[in-house]
Amino acid sequence: MSATPLSREATVYVAGHHGLVGSAIVRHLRAQGFTNVVGARSAEVDLRDPAAVQAWFEKVRPTVVVDAAARVGGILANSQSPVEFLSDNLRMQLNLIDTAHRFDVERLLFLGSSCIYPKFAEQPIREDSLLTGKLEETNDAYAVAKIAGITQVDAYRREYGRRWISAMPTNLYGPGDNFDLQKSHVLPALMSKFHTAAVEKHSQVVVWGTGTPRREFLHTDDLAAACLFLLEHYDEPGPINVGVGEDLEIREIAQIVADVTGFTGELVFDTSKPDGTPRKLLDISRLTGLGWKPTITISDGIRSTYDWYLANVAQA
């Protein structure tokens, strides 16, 4: 499609605006001149409650919606609470997308996750790998919910001609991340572990798994830029991948985090813990073919995220 710039006066509702992804999108939209970006915390609007979502849309009347709301977590959280990861995410996105249709929202971006793809998909993972194989068992409930969201968006495109889209980011990190060791993803968990070890001068840090799985990491500021780019340059069914196009072994990521935090001890890998998917690298050629590319390197991104962590989390 040709570029269709969004009005900077449009009311843009970012669902999940206070989370890792949503807060980055809000920052980017405001930096790009959007003057009416709105959001609500879950205590104000429970997206699992259709009546609450209806009342919120009646109040703000958005013309653009970005669905960055989700119940998220790492391997441990997904493994322990699959019912909540399935049910909560299904309810939130169903209510949000159905209500957006009733209020005639012009543009909607649904954000999923690279975990929607099969565990052993051919690498790098193309968008047409969706539903071609078995999912990773440790987060299949969350993945199924996100696949349902993609399907719902596409159903509205087919039945009602909605110009709505779905984007699938790779592993994300950045300011505002969750650093709780019981609930966080791998990179913030490593940052929290290595920071504590550096401060308390531990001799070693234990890292889950073998250290050999490969992961791709995208800074949320890059994702936010991609989201606006897609809203203004993309209008197709199905998911479109958002990533950086390269990956590293977990042990390499751990070493970068160790260097940034100043930890000089030994890295020990606990092979009794799960590795998850062996590799998860996205093919981003469709997105880069449209003219977008990431700008933040992994080392620069980890360093800036650690600076934010020191200013906002470490002291608390």
Sign of the Cα torsion 127, 129, 134, 138 reads: negative
Residue 156, pLDDT > 70, answer: yes
Q: Where are the domains of the chain?
A: 12-177+216-244+280-297
Retrieve residue 194's tokens: 């290595």
Q: What local confidence, expressed as pLDDT, does residue 278 receive?
A: 82
**Maximal C-alpha separation, the chain:** 60
- 12-177+216-244+280-297 is a CATH 3.40.50.720 domain: yes
The mean pLDDT of the chain is: 93
Q: How does DSSP assign 198-252, residue by residue? A: HHTT-SEEEEES-S--EE-EEEHHHHHHHHHHHHHH---SSEEEES-S--EEHHH
What b/e sequence results for 228-255 when a residue is b if at least 16 CB atoms lie within 10 Å of its CB, and e otherwise? Answer: bbbbebbeeebbbbbbbbebbebeebbb
Of 117, 142, 156, 309, which residue is the catalytic one?
142
User: Residue 311 gets which letter from DSSP?
Assistant: I
Residue closest to 17 by CA, chosen among 58, 55, 56, 75: 56
Q: What local confidence, expressed as pLDDT, does residue 77 receive?
A: 62
List the binding residues: 16-22, 111-114, 146, 169-172, 185, 193, 208, 215, 275
Which amino acid would we find at residue 276?
G
Contact 125, 61 (CB under 8 A): no
Q: Are strands 248-249 and 214-215 parallel, antiparallel or unpaired?
A: antiparallel
Residues 220-240: what's their mean pLDDT?
A: 98
- Give the confidence band of 181 by pLDDT, cuts at 50, 70, 90: confident
- Give the confidence band of 80 by pLDDT, cuts at 50, 70, 90: confident
Q: Where are the alpha helices (DSSP H) in the chain?
A: 20-31, 50-60, 75-80, 82-102, 140-160, 186-199, 220-233, 250-261, 285-290, 298-309
Q: What local confidence, expressed as pLDDT, does residue 203 receive?
A: 97
Distance CA 21, CA 27 (A): 10
pTM: 0.93
The residues, any chain, with a CB within 8 Å of residue 312's CB and separated by 6 or more, are 175
Retrieve residue 58's tokens: 């009646």
pLDDT digits (tens, 9 = 90+) for 20-73: 999 999 999 999 999 999 999 989 999 999 999 999 999 999 999 999 998 876
Distance CA 139, CA 149 (A): 16
Q: Is 117 a catalytic residue?
A: no
Count CB atoms within 10 A of the CB of residue 58. 11
Residues 74-86: what's their mean pLDDT?
A: 73
pLDDT digits (tens, 9 = 90+) for 94-150: 999 999 999 999 999 999 999 999 999 999 999 999 999 999 888 899 999 999 999
